[in-house]
Amino acid sequence: MENLLLQLSELESWRIGLIATWLLLQGVVVALFPEEIIAVTLGVLWSQGKISFPESLFFMQAGLMPANAFMVGVGKRFGLPLIRRRPFSWILDANEVQDWLEIIRKNKKKVIFFARFTPMIRGPIYFATGMSQLRIPEFSRIDYIASLIQIPILLTLGKWIGVSAGSLMGAFQNVGIVFILLFGWMVIFGVIRKQKKTRVPSRENQT
């Protein structure tokens, strides 16, 4: 991973930005890297003068906003029947989407806003948002406002990592640690949710 990031650092700033945008756009299907890692990496490159803050913010939003709106549109158009079929059932869990749908119906705007700050589980939330029949322009407006807070935080974190590491290689090694922590959080979160789902039926059987 470090070698890939080092090769990335040798590119012109607009090429770096376009790669980040492409990675975020294709994340609609399967995310090669979480958006947090992409943003932190751009922050590291910002600390090294490889790309500016405005460029990083622009290219991040150019990838995130359309990808998120697309997921909402798919949920609005097709709903649960789509994710009950393969290969979509491998990406999104129908029960999880239904759970989020109930929450979104009660607190639509708050859920959309805070979803931007919830790593690696946004897919079901955005799909459920579409099922709630929220208009895509309204969703995008809330998502955009939240991104003006979340993305600068991640870019600043990346810049701090780049400055404190002392070298580009050291900074990218720290980015790798952040990736491992995010992956670990995703696994733990998945296990906790699975345990909760298995406990609910067992309690219902007892009653």
Which mean pLDDT values do the consecutive 10-residue runs of the chain (207 residues) have? 68 91 82 83 91 96 94 87 74 80 87 85 86 92 95 93 76 71 63 57 46
> Do you know the residue count of the chain?
207
| 3 state SS of 88 | helix
pLDDT (tens digit per residue) in 177-207: 776 776 666 666 555 555 655 554 444 444 4
End-to-end, the C-alpha distance of the chain in Å comes to: 51
Task: Give the domain extent around 92.
Answer: 2-206
**pLDDT at 8 (0 to 100):** 74
Q: What pLDDT is attached to residue 97?
A: 84
Tell me the C-alpha distance between 152 and 134, whole Å: 27
pLDDT at 207: 46
The predicted model scores a pTM of 0.80
Q: How many domains does the chain have?
A: 1
User: Residue 196: what pLDDT?
Assistant: 57
Q: What is the pLDDT of residues 51-66, one digit of tens each?
A: 999 999 999 999 999 9
